Chain A
Amino acid sequence: AQSVAQPEDQVNVAEGNPLTVKCTYSVSGNPYLFWYVQYPNRGLQFLLKYITGDNLVKGSYGFEAEFNKSQTSFHLKKPSALVSDSALYFCAAMNTGFQKLVFGTGTRLLVSP
């Protein structure tokens, strides 16, 4: 069965510092991986996705993610955090079957001034 794990409930980082939000996955076949962000009482916004090719994927708002097949990980990164990046981040995976996304439990990112 597919599963996505986000081992940290919350990540705290100071503004201007680099941030990493961790994600590991377990899917059959080739993985299709996504990151979404959610602000309070809002829907999810798509940040980036990995399909194939370059292991470093660049997305919206300066975020990027590194795909590591041997570690089955897809960590979200940003070189310099902003206070406005504070939100709930979800990692999701889909296999080569039907378009059914499996979500992690989410990681709350708190960026302090």
Chain B
Amino acid sequence: DGGITQSPKYLFRKEGQNVTLSCEQNLNHDAMYWYRQDPGQGLRLIYYSQIVNDFQKGDIAEGYSVSREKKESFPLTVTSAQKNPTAFYLCASSIVGGPYNEQFFGPGTRLTVL
């Protein structure tokens, strides 16, 4: 899983709670991404960031929020507005500069709503 760490590995949330998933990378990559993985649906992009203090919505941003205050960190908050948050969440990073640069993934956080 390279130089990307995600914590916690497992997270349990009660309905109505906000929770924050951590993602840290030491690869000196400018771009970072959050994906959601559900069985049979592949990976869907939630948010991405190409530079510090800037980020854009992906395909399924509703109910999520992010920040990018440091190059190496890109935390994801799952808010109470996300109606079906139970999923496996993957963080990734890459070099910025061309569409041919592969993304490196962290080990993931499995979020379960109780």
Contacts and interface: CB of A to CB of B under 8 A. Distances in A.
Interface of A: 9, 32, 34, 36, 41-46, 49, 51, 90, 94-101, 103-106
Given A32-B99, A41-B110, A49-B100, A103 B94 contact: no
A105 to B, nearest CB: 4
B41 A105 contact: yes
16 contacts: A32-B100, A41-B88, A43-B6, A43-B92, A43-B108, A44-B90, A44-B92, A45-B105, A94-B100, A95-B99, A99-B48, A99-B99, A100-B58, A101-B43, A103-B43, A105-B41
B42 A49 contact: no
Interface of B: 1, 4, 6, 31, 40-45, 48, 50, 58, 88, 90, 92, 94, 96, 98-108, 110
B37 to A, nearest CB: 9
B102 A34 contact: yes
Contacts of A34: 102
